[in-house]
Amino acid sequence: MALNQTKSLVLATCPACGMLCDDINANDAPTSTCEKSIAFFTQNAVKSTPRIAGKQVNLSEAIAKVTAILKPAKQVLLAGLSTDLAGFRSAYQLADKTNAALAHMNATTTWRNLKVLQSTGWQTTTLTEVKNRADVIVCIGTDVVKHNPRFFERIVWPKKAMFVKNEGRDVIYLGGKGLDTSHGVSPKGKRPTVLPCDPIKLPEVTAALHALVAGKTLNTKQVAGITIKDLVAIAERLKQAKYAVLIWIAKDLDFPHAELTIQQITQTVVTLNETTRAGALAMGGSDGDTTVNYAHTWLSGLAIDQEVLPEHDALIWVNSFSPEKTVPDTGTPTVVIGNPNMKFDNEPDVFIPIATPGLDCAGTMIRVDSNVILPLKQVRETQLPTLAEVFLQVEAAL
């Protein structure tokens, strides 16, 4: 007998951020605590047709125009790549056939992390471990909730955990400005430790924390406005923790050579693991960035390109998940394939609206902490083609 024939309520998986919450009741009006999720599942099912220079056409006319753009091009770029696994696989195949380059809209932030992975590596953990084990949670330069709104609700303050009680957890915000630290308050009202600083000062703060955890003494009274006494207290709390978790979000570390700050964080975790247990955790994620990078890695042997817009003379921009994001104007012939709710200041040469994975069609995505791969469900009907269907037709026409 097959396993997946349970009669229970089918819950949807939300691709609006890297956490991929898969407990969304999308059948009724979504009642999530997460605005991103509500916005995703309630976006308009607009009746949209392909357009050439703003003029409505049918799909085959649009495909013909796409091939007319691709054929003379010497270096096609398939970019944006806000899509799921099936979409990316089809993009990879088309790129293979047309010798096109592939790039993701989040490459800059993805590479802040990858540079650390490729330089020293790291010791990391995942969400279920954090939920059940973490007794100290340090959010560095981020409140997390701006990117992953349900992080505290689902992971830090669960109803039950195997090895730690909620009131036994300490939440610390280190660095960052204007953070929403309200989610760090425990269900019984225990307040987090908040030590703000200008994000640009995080390189110094994280280096100081690493030094203190490694047992060094610092001959100064403060770093970036944070007293050494406070930093020493954090270092001691980390060393006493049974399972400390140090969290960052690459998008929030928006300054030159942020990878060096991330490395200070991950090396602090490595040092902690000499005597106790700790894990690093990169959160955030959007637009299928983790999925695209992982699949690119196994298909080609290498991670996704470092550049968001490498050199090209024809551009195909894919944007399934973020209709509000604009298309870069590169001055080259541009095809946009994406969410039917996308708006344009300058209409592209071709626009093909497609089904959104997790809403209009099923799909697959990789969660931001890696290792967890979740199916996306179809929750409504659409006439729109999927990205893979469009690319297959382009391939056939070439």
Give the C-alpha separation, 221 to 236, whole Å.
17
Residues touching another protein, count (CB under 8 A): 62
Element (H, E) at 111: helix 107-119
Q: Which of 123, 193, 222, 330 binds another protein (CB under 8 A)?
A: 123
Assess contact for 169 and 237: CB atoms under 8 A.
Answer: no
Beta bridge partners of 222: 227
Q: Is 133 in the site for another protein (CB under 8 A)?
A: yes
Q: Is 341 in the site for another protein (CB under 8 A)?
A: no
Q: Is 4 in the site for another protein (CB under 8 A)?
A: yes
Q: Is 237 in the site for another protein (CB under 8 A)?
A: no
Which is closer to another protein, CB of 29 or CB of 162?
162
DSSP string, 191-216: PPEEE-B-GGGHHHHHHHHHHHHTT-
Q: Is 63 in the site for another protein (CB under 8 A)?
A: no
Assess contact for 163 and 133: CB atoms under 8 A.
Answer: yes
Which is closer to another protein, CB of 56 or CB of 120?
120
Q: Is 159 in the site for another protein (CB under 8 A)?
A: yes
Q: Choose the stretch contacting another protein; rule: CB under 8 A; options: 5-13, 45-53, 322-330, 336-344.
A: 5-13
Q: Choose the stretch contacting another protein; rule: CB under 8 A; options: 66-74, 315-323, 330-338, 362-370.
A: 362-370
Beta bridge partners of 283: none
Q: Which of 72, 189, 298, 396 binds another protein (CB under 8 A)?
A: 298
Q: Which of 17, 94, 107, 127 binds another protein (CB under 8 A)?
A: 127
Q: Which of 88, 111, 173, 243 binds another protein (CB under 8 A)?
A: 243
Strands 243-248, 277-282: pairing is parallel
One-letter amino acid at 15 equals: P
Which is closer to another protein, CB of 209 or CB of 366?
366
Give the C-alpha separation, 116 to 122, whole Å.
8
Which is closer to another protein, CB of 40 or CB of 351?
40
Which is closer to another protein, CB of 189 or CB of 301?
301
Dihedral angle over CA of 340, 342, 343, 346, nearest 10: -100
Cα 321–Cα 327–Cα 330 angle in degrees, nearest 5 = 150
Assess contact for 389 and 50: CB atoms under 8 A.
Answer: no
Q: Is 108 in the site for another protein (CB under 8 A)?
A: no
Q: Could you tell me how far CA 52 lies from the centroid of its own chain? A: 32
Q: Is 289 in the site for another protein (CB under 8 A)?
A: no
Q: Least CB distance from residue 369 to another protein, whole Å?
A: 9
Q: Least CB distance from residue 385 to another protein, whole Å?
A: 16
Q: Least CB distance from residue 48 to another protein, whole Å?
A: 26
Assess contact for 192 and 156: CB atoms under 8 A.
Answer: no
Q: Is 279 in the site for another protein (CB under 8 A)?
A: yes
Q: Least CB distance from residue 330 to another protein, whole Å?
A: 27
Q: Is 114 in the site for another protein (CB under 8 A)?
A: yes
Q: Least CB distance from residue 66 to another protein, whole Å?
A: 23
Q: Is 185 in the site for another protein (CB under 8 A)?
A: no
Assess contact for 188 and 167: CB atoms under 8 A.
Answer: yes
Give the C-alpha separation, 12 to 76, whole Å.
35
Which is closer to another protein, CB of 301 or CB of 331?
301
Q: Choose the stretch contacting another protein; rule: CB under 8 A; options: 40-48, 97-105, 206-214, 294-302.
A: 294-302
| Backbone Cα Rg of the chain | 23
Q: Is 378 in the site for another protein (CB under 8 A)?
A: no
DSSP 328: P
Q: Is 1 in the site for another protein (CB under 8 A)?
A: yes
Q: 288: closest CA among 89, 7, 52?
A: 89
Q: 393: closest CA among 68, 76, 94?
A: 94
Residue 362, Cβ density class (10 Å: 0-12 exposed, 13-18 middle, ≥19 buried)? middle
Query: What does the binding site for another protein look like in residue numbers (CB under 8 A)?
Result: 1-4, 6, 8, 10-11, 13, 22-23, 85, 89, 114, 117-129, 131-133, 154-155, 158-163, 242-243, 273, 276-277, 279, 293-295, 297-303, 364, 366, 370-375
